[in-house]
Amino acid sequence: MSLTARVRPAAAEPEGALVLFHGRGADEHDLFLLLDALDPERRLVGATPRAPLSLPPGGSHWYVLGGIGTPEATTFQASYAAATEWLDGFMQEHNIAVDRLVLGGFSQGGVMAYSLGLGQGRPRPAGIIALSSFVPTVEGFELDLSPPLPPVAIGHGTLDPVIEVEWGRRARALLEEAGAEVLYRETPMFHQIDPDFIRVLSAWIERLLPPRG
């Protein structure tokens, strides 16, 4: 199982990397325009990988639903392994250290961003963005919440009927208790991305990965 991705080159020598993981039933095109919204000067090389599973009702998926908060273990583990291999190869190809990487995602993609950024044995990225998502609990998969943790930005709609806002609040509490610096935003929206928060996140990324020189 291997991943394909859409890549947005940096305007010059990349100063880091921004990788966004799409939600359930979408594909690598879904969040591609967010790369420019989050990094308008194109200082970073950007990528949006496609999930490896094709499942009903269509589109690409990172795992079979096992209930909110608990992805089905077998499919999650397979996608996590494929995403790990792809991400490590992507960073090596562009000669970028992981501490110059921001991982982000929406819904299932946020689960992948949390997992790849906080999984046991994984190197720490510069930051993690999780939109309308949750920190997963999966049999056979362990998170490492020992300090120091990377900064985390969480956005969630208070009217979200798919992944209720309580999951965003739980993630915030868990990560703050573990010592992470958390940027948190709730918006009266459904299962969608708040464009105003994207502008906030753009400045947040610039603080995490300040321009060189």
Mean pLDDT for 131-160 is 97
Mean pLDDT for 76-91 is 98
Neighbours of 211 (CB within 10 A): 8
Whole-number average pLDDT of the chain: 97
pTM listed for this prediction: 0.97
User: What whole-number distance in Å separates Cα of residue 121 and Cα of residue 144?
Assistant: 8
User: What whole-number distance in Å separates Cα of residue 54 and Cα of residue 135?
Assistant: 23
Residue 131 has pLDDT above 90, yes or no: yes
pLDDT reported for residue 1: 72
C-alpha distances (whole Å) from 81 to each of 62, 112, 119 are: 11, 11, 11
In a domain, 133, yes or no: yes
Beta strand pairing call for 5-8 and 45-49: antiparallel
The answer to whether 96 and 13 have CB atoms below 8 angstroms apart is no
pLDDT level of residue 213 (50, 70, 90 thresholds):
low
Query: Domain holding 171: CATH number?
Result: 3.40.50.1820
In a domain, 213, yes or no: no
In a domain, 177, yes or no: yes
In a domain, 97, yes or no: yes
Quote the domain boundaries for residue 39.
5-208
In a domain, 155, yes or no: yes
In a domain, 18, yes or no: yes
Number of domains in the chain: 1
pLDDT level of residue 167 (50, 70, 90 thresholds):
very high
In a domain, 185, yes or no: yes
